[in-house]
Amino acid sequence: MRNLLIFINKYNAFFFFLIFQVSALIIYIKYNSFQRATFINSSNEVTGNIYGRVNKLNQYLYLKESNDSLMAENARLRGRLTGAFYQDTAAKHTVVDTINKQQYTYIGAKVINNSINKSNNYLTINRGSIAGIQKDMGVISSAGLVGLVVNVSPHFATIRSFLHKDTKVSAMLTDTKDIGSMIWNEESGPNTGLLIDVPNHVKPRVGEPVVTSGFSLWPAGIPIGKVSNLKAKGGGFFLNMEVKLAVDYSRLEYVYVVTNKLAVEQAALEAQQKTND
């Protein structure tokens, strides 16, 4: 305390000058409308800049929560698209009763591990059986097809990426509606696939979109890529063509696991048919 008093006493002239200067400035601004308006505008601009910087900092700090919220909302909205429903139609005489029933729902998840430079590539996501994820569920992203769930724990799941030598997806050309099979073309890197086993009478075009056919674990119409080369080797009696993939697998952050409510029923029926054969 004594040191503080000594300091004040030593510099009292400066402190008095400062007090008088501030008081004069306040009086000058208070009783002059032009200067008051100028001061208010300047202070508002400074305050606004400060608030803007604080807001940007808060947005960055809460970015994870915002992304998780958007992911959940996107999953909910995907479940409301027309392609997520099927028509349950019963016709009796002249009465037709049609009800749209939901077939697909979606579970949002974050990618926490990923590989693209191997022959067999996998992803790990931060959702598991507790969230309702099961083996053999299809996985997509906002850009298109991603892969297939192969292993599940309570809190995590591993996904066999499309960039895997054993991945084979039923696909369709959007213009002609002809069906083929999509596989990864490992020799061309992580951005190219092959559409194979397309009937040789088909006349596809470069740039034609390729989507899921609906004959597999993914809903129909999920983007896979676009035809980039019509003369891929090894077609034989069928057409093979290169497809530039829609998904950049090196930059995957969020995905959606597809829940097909009719998958168990369909699998049981098809298994029964194999037994009968």
Round to whole Å and give the CA distance between 26 and 128.
64
Domain regions of the chain by residue span: 38-78, 82-261
CATH topology of domain 82-261: Thrombin, subunit H (2.40.10)
* pLDDT of amino acid 29: 62
* pLDDT of amino acid 182: 95
Round to whole Å and give the CA distance between 157 and 121.
14
* pLDDT of amino acid 239: 87
* pLDDT of amino acid 78: 57
* pLDDT of amino acid 238: 85
pLDDT in tens, the chain (277 residues): 667 667 667 767 776 667 767 776 667 666 666 655 565 555 545 554 564 565 565 555 555 655 665 666 565 565 555 454 444 443 333 333 344 566 788 898 989 999 999 999 999 999 999 999 999 999 999 899 999 999 999 999 999 999 999 999 999 999 989 999 999 988 888 999 999 999 888 889 999 999 999 887 888 899 999 999 987 766 667 889 999 999 999 988 889 999 887 666 666 665 676 666 6
152-181 burial: b if 16+ Cβ within 10 Å, else e: beeebbbbbbbbbeebebbbbbeeeebbbb
Cα Rg of the chain, angstroms? 31
